[in-house]
Structure 1
Amino acid sequence: MGIQLFVPTFRVDECLEEIRECLEKGWTGLGYKTVEIEEKWKEYTGLPHAHFLNSATVGLSLALKILKLEEGWQDDAEVITTPLTFVSTNHAILYEGLQPVFADVDQYLCLDPIDVEKKITSRTKAVLFVGIGGNTGQYNKIVELCRKYNLKLILDAAHMAGTRQNGVVPGAEADVVVYSFQAVKNLPTADSGMICFKEQRHDEICRKLTWLGINKDTYARSNDKGAYKWKYDVEYVGYKYHGNSIMAAIGLVQLKYLDQDNAYRRQLASWYDSAFDGHHDYIKPIAVAPGCESSRHLYVIEVNNRDNLLLALNECEIYPGVHYRDNTDYRMYAYAKGTCPNSHRLSERILSLPMHLRMTKKDVDYVAEKVIQYAGRG
């Protein structure tokens, strides 16, 4: 199989035991384990609210939908975002009829606060910050900008499960934080996510919207007493976006090992760093921001001959990836082409090296050796 970019690791027996509990109780949907993982996630992160979802993508959509609804934003409202991300980040803005405005990225591949400030207009309502690879970048400066201009802050923490900044999980400063527990993330399930609003009223609306707008979910109704427990109202045109207890059961096991797993990822990154030391003239690892203890979902390098290097590594049965293609290269975002030159330049030069818990130092050494061998010096 060679050395793959991502290979998730599950504690299979423990996961099956948690799932067995759901099956024996006959409760596999919303409630029971989903309630438990929400409580555990709040305890782990220190965030005041957490709602378990079927994906992070719907979390980003809900974050923008609820802020738009509550703040009375019009359809010409602008959200400043990054072009260097998975398309779901920016699709979520379009889902809600809002306008993505792209700001450039910095040396950490995160939003550059200098360019963000330049892109703020009278229509700007929010900033969507992506902690790419688990990096916090210049997040604190983005927080300051949002306070200065009275903008909402959405933290796309899809890669940030377990990231800390100066010892604290970032996000308390944001209006909403969205995490991904998708199949290859640091806390993998089959697919799920978590949305963490700062305000209780936003969390309450979110819970209704994820259950078709119904104001009392099946788990709450099952615990009611009396003849009218079947009665509920439908307050919104909602969606079927909530998570289920099978995914939550897997997530509960994975959460127990998250910090331990991330520590090993940082060890892998350290081995890569050591291997590339002395080769920075043509292999430049993307730096982690000062004070950031990254989840290390990704290990990204910048090279001169990315596409040729990728092909050469494939020949050696090493399968890296690219995170990400500059979104302004896609036709729907082409209106912004040329507005983020650093992002476009880096998008042609970055490569994500294999990074997962089944890798050994020998694997890292082999990957690094081949990168050094085939990376272009020109």
Structure 2
Amino acid sequence: MIQVFKPYYDNEEIEAVAEVIRSGWVGLGPVTAQFEKEFAKFCFVEYCIGLNSCTAALDMALRLLGVNHGDEVIVPTITFVSTAHCVAYNLATPIFADIEADTLNIDLEDVARKISARTKAIIPVHYGGRPVDMDRLKEMAGDIPIVEDCAHACGSRYQGKPVGGLGDIGCFSFHAVKNLAMGEGGAITLNNEEMQSRAKRLRWLGIDRGTWDRTSMDRSYWWEYSVNEIGLKSHLNDIQAAIGLVQLKKLEKANMRRRQIVDMYRKGLNAIEGVQMPPEDGGDFISAWHLCEIKAEKRNDLSVFLRNKGINTGVHYKPIHLYPCYGNRPTLPAAENVFPKLLTIPLYPDLSNDEVGLIIDAISDFYK
């Protein structure tokens, strides 16, 4: 069976994990600190805080911005539910914006219509890896903070700059299927020193010094610490960070292979009536291509047909405003019209040219 996603690992990740295990320290520690330093450099920002998921990162970002009861946060409706859930976690109201039918990114004109006196933040999602037009968004947002959801976009670039440092806070996912995959993991990226210090406390239950820091101190009563506010236990650990350091070195090569595969799909599928490929890279927008999301007529039938041929597919995503917990009220026409056609086809660095050819042939056969 050809999978939709597959991690890009080899012996280098295995040896990196083994080295951490042999060191005797596998929790939050020096390897995590090294990954944070390297990833901040990669994103052209001052600080990176390693966390256990992008969900934790989004929740942390809104907490750092003071989002609370009575506030509104604008989010796109086509994204993973974490983008909206993090707003609810902070007792605020997610305001769902429609999407652009071609890019599947948040519709900036709809964002402008939905900004109000209660808008405390805007969360654009770089869907599938394609960057949002951040200059336009920042112009309309004014002083409203922007939290970039970069879960799909590790290695994406906007106007030559990496995502994650284009707004006030960037949020990344290092989940098992992501471009930089640790199994689980996430991070926030930012340039605010005060927020960085607070985030380090909040990810460790509000404790002002982590265990590694305390054991490394040359002082009496090294075990002492203070807790000035309540936080969660949402930190990264050194095993995850060790994998991340190896993955970071491979990321550009891996993303380049993803682009090659998408180009092959484009050449093979463009002529098929009933299939529409996502927009090409170019100009200000360079995608990391986490997803290759086609728009396909008879999507459900095609998905079953491909599965019977040994090819898995997925759908990313059902519009969040249609879930029961968010009211299930159809109000966003672009998202509602495009959702029945969305289909994610396999995309990962180890997908062979022969396998890409099989997928193209199978899709072509379906539409004959």
Q: TM-score, normalised by structure 2?
A: 0.96
> Hey, what does 1:81 align to over in structure 2?
75
Deviation at 1:288, TM superposition (A): 4.2
- Equivalent AA in structure 1 for residue 78 of structure 2: L
> Hey, what does 1:299 align to over in structure 2?
292
Secondary structure (helix, strand or coil) at the match of 1:130 reads: coil
> Hey, what does 2:306 align to over in structure 1?
313
Structure 1 residues 79 and 375, CA gap change in structure 2 (3 angstroms): farther
Unaligned runs of 5+ in 2: none
> Hey, what does 2:34 align to over in structure 1?
36
> Hey, what does 2:45 align to over in structure 1?
47
Task: Give 2:20's match in structure 1, choosing from 19, 22, 25.
Answer: 22
Task: Give 1:228's match in structure 2, choosing from 216, 221, 231.
Answer: 221
Unaligned runs of 5+ in 1: none
Partners of 1:137 and 1:288 within 8 A in 2: no
> Hey, what does 2:109 align to over in structure 1?
114
> Hey, what does 2:135 align to over in structure 1?
140
- Equivalent AA in structure 1 for residue 7 of structure 2: P
Residues 15-64 of structure 1, C-alpha deviations (whole Å, 9 max, x = no match): 22222222222110011110010011012111111011111111111111
Cα distance in 2 for partners of 1:162, 1:294 equals: 8
Residues 70-129 of structure 1, C-alpha deviations (whole Å, 9 max, x = no match): xxx541110000110111111111111010000110121010111110111111111111
> Hey, what does 2:63 align to over in structure 1?
65
- Equivalent AA in structure 1 for residue 334 of structure 2: N
- Equivalent AA in structure 2 for residue 39 of structure 1: K
Secondary structure (helix, strand or coil) at the match of 2:204 reads: coil
Task: Give 2:89's match in structure 1, choosing from 81, 90, 95.
Answer: 95
Cα distance in 2 for partners of 1:121, 1:194 equals: 29
Q: TM-score, normalised by structure 1?
A: 0.94
Which range moves more in the overlay, 310-319 or 356-365? 356-365
Secondary structure (helix, strand or coil) at the match of 2:294 reads: strand
- Equivalent AA in structure 2 for residue 245 of structure 1: D
Task: Give 1:178's match in structure 2, choosing from 171, 174, 181.
Answer: 171
Residues 207-257 of structure 1, C-alpha deviations (whole Å, 9 max, x = no match): 101111011111211221121322211011111111100011111111110
Cα distance in 2 for partners of 1:99, 1:289 equals: 34
Deviation at 1:339, TM superposition (A): 2.3
Cα distance in 2 for partners of 1:46, 1:220 equals: 26
Partners of 2:163 and 2:170 within 8 A in 1: no
Which range moves more in the overlay, 264-273 or 356-365? 356-365
Instruction: Report whether the alignment pairs 1:283 with 2:275.
Output: yes
State the number of aligned residues.
366
Instruction: Report whether the alignment pairs 1:373 with 2:345.
Output: no
Cα distance in 2 for partners of 1:200, 1:262 equals: 31
> Hey, what does 2:9 align to over in structure 1?
10
- Equivalent AA in structure 2 for residue 349 of structure 1: K
Cα distance in 2 for partners of 1:85, 1:347 equals: 11
- Equivalent AA in structure 2 for residue 140 of structure 1: D
> Hey, what does 1:251 align to over in structure 2?
244
- RMSD over equivalenced CA pairs, Å: 1.4
Instruction: Report whether the alignment pairs 1:351 with 2:350.
Output: no
- Equivalent AA in structure 2 for residue 167 of structure 1: G
Residues 148-167 of structure 1, C-alpha deviations (whole Å, 9 max, x = no match): xx211000100111111232
Task: Give 2:192's match in structure 1, choosing from 189, 199, 204.
Answer: 199
Deviation at 1:138, TM superposition (A): 2.7
Secondary structure (helix, strand or coil) at the match of 1:110 reads: coil
> Hey, what does 2:160 align to over in structure 1?
167
- Aligned residues with identical type, % of pairs: 32
Secondary structure (helix, strand or coil) at the match of 1:272 reads: helix
Cα distance in 1 for partners of 2:246, 2:221 equals: 37
Cα distance in 2 for partners of 1:231, 1:94 equals: 34
Cα distance in 1 for partners of 2:178, 2:277 equals: 21
Q: Which runs of 4+ in 1 moved over 4 A?
A: none
Structure 1 residues 288 and 199, CA gap change in structure 2 (3 angstroms): farther
Cα distance in 2 for partners of 1:231, 1:95 equals: 31
Secondary structure (helix, strand or coil) at the match of 1:27 reads: coil
Cα distance in 2 for partners of 1:328, 1:31 equals: 40
Residues 318-369 of structure 1, C-alpha deviations (whole Å, 9 max, x = no match): 111101111112101126x222110111111110110012211221121112
